[in-house]
Structure formats: C-alpha cells, structure tokens
Amino acid sequence: MQEPPAERMEEREKLLADLESGGYLNDPHLEEAMLEVPRHVFVPKELREAAYEDRPLPIGFGQTVSAPHMVAMMSTALQLEGGEKVLEVGTGVGYHAAIVKHLVGPKGRVISVEFLPELVQLAKKNLKQARSKVEVHEGDGAVGFPSEGPYDAVYVTCAIPDIPQALIDQLREGGHFIAPVGITRCQLMAGRKMGGELVLEDLGPCLFVNAQGELGAADEREDDDPDDLTPAP
C-alpha cells in the first residue's frame, strides 16, 4: 500500500513516544501502523490541530473517533500477523479501520459496517485520501456482514449492551474478538472463539458512544459524555 506524504511527522513521533511510555505499544508492526496512518486526515478540519493528542475527538452525528491509546489497545488484542480477514463494526471516520488494514497488509482485508449513511460516505472519502483499501458498507452491526464470513477477527468500536450471536457465528474458531460491552460505561472485553463460544477477558472499564440500530438496542440508556476512558490497570 502506498503511504500518504509524511505530514506532521514530529507530532506523530511524539504521540508514539507517549503511547510507548504509557505501555500501550510493544509491537513494532503496530508502532509502524500508528506512525504511518495520518490521523489528521480522519478528524474534522476544525480539530486537526488536536489530531495527535491522545484523546477522543468529536466527528459529528453524536459520534467520536477513539483516542489513539484505545485504538492501540484494541488492535493489540486482535493479535494480527498479516493476511487476515477482519470485520469491523462501527466505521466512524475510518481511522481505526485504516490502522487494522495496515496490520493485515496487502493480502489481508478489512470489511467495515457502519449504521449512519453520512459516516459511510465520510469514511470512504477519508480512507481514499489516506490510501487505505478498507471495504465500507452501510448496515446494522447486529447482523455483522455474513456474506464475507467467517472472519479471522471481529471488533466493535461502539458500546454494545450484549454481543450479538451473529458476530460470534461469523468469527472463525480460534479467532480473536474485542468490544466495549455495556451502555456508555462499558467493560472492554477481549478473547477468542473456542469450542464455538467466546472465551473473554475483562480488560477494564471504558466509555464509548452507544451503538445505533439493533446493535445498540437496550431498555435504558445512561446520559454520559461519549468519550473513551483509559481502562484501569
């Protein structure tokens, strides 16, 4: 994949140094992805000065782009080695998908499903500008994207009250999964599919925007700020 021009490289390198010192980066391949994917391309123009700060940023439509440390944590949990086919639920502006696409490389695929049509178009535009070949589709993440399954890894970028069975079914045996489970205030749950079921580990608390559509269906909602919280150690 041809990389975009290395704009704002000093800021990118400082962000990487901060993530490394915080214990969020210990994989050279992920370090390369976090350095080379231009986060400023994916955030609104009025917020681009803050693109390389380690915090979530609003992207419109009541949504955010996750803080880089959260993207690093979730990407690490997927344990990607290259060549995998990955399902992302919740494209947003496309930044996290671009990181994962870098990890799976030219032989891998990232299929991403986004509920909001406005974000589908925005993500496609951003990914094209960043020269990242992610396949973005409009749809409800509750049903995943079965026509391309099974997937080597599945991850969800928004708060979900429960893990849909469809996502478990579309994950191959031994495949990795991660999602914030809860309503706004969540537990970051990661694990593998073993014996047809997810075996999960709680990585700690976090705060995410709630999923849209059937994926986010729940009887009650909490009214919290839609930003990520650093999971507790």
Q: Is the residue at 224 inside a domain?
A: no
Strands 85-89 and 151-156: parallel
Which residues carry out catalysis? 66
Q: Is the residue at 2 inside a domain?
A: no
Provide the 3-class DSSP secondary structure of residue 112.
Answer: strand
Domain count, the chain: 1
pLDDT, tens digit (0-9, with 9 covering 90-100), for 26-49: 999 999 999 999 999 999 999 999
CATH classification of the domain holding 78: 3.40.50.150
Q: Is the residue at 18 inside a domain?
A: yes
pLDDT, tens digit (0-9, with 9 covering 90-100), for 155-201: 999 999 999 999 999 999 999 999 999 998 999 999 999 999 999 99
Distance from C-alpha of 188 to C-alpha of 208, rounded to nearest angstrom: 10
Distance from C-alpha of 209 to C-alpha of 62, rounded to nearest angstrom: 8
Q: Is the residue at 232 inside a domain?
A: no
Residue 218: its pLDDT value, please? 56
Residues 6+ apart with CB under 8 A from 147: none
Q: Is the residue at 68 inside a domain?
A: yes
Distance from C-alpha of 160 to C-alpha of 184, rounded to nearest angstrom: 8
Which residue range(s) make up the domain with 131?
9-216
Query: Can you give 198-232 as a three-state secondary structure string?
Result: EEEEEEEEEECCECCHHHHCCCCCCCCCCCCCCCC
Q: Is the residue at 1 inside a domain?
A: no
For residue 6, what pLDDT band results from cuts at 50, 70 and 90?
A: confident
The mean pLDDT value for 120-144 works out to 97
Residue 7: its pLDDT value, please? 87
* CA triple 42-224-187, angle to 5 deg: 80
Beta bridge partners of residue 200, listed in sequence order: 191
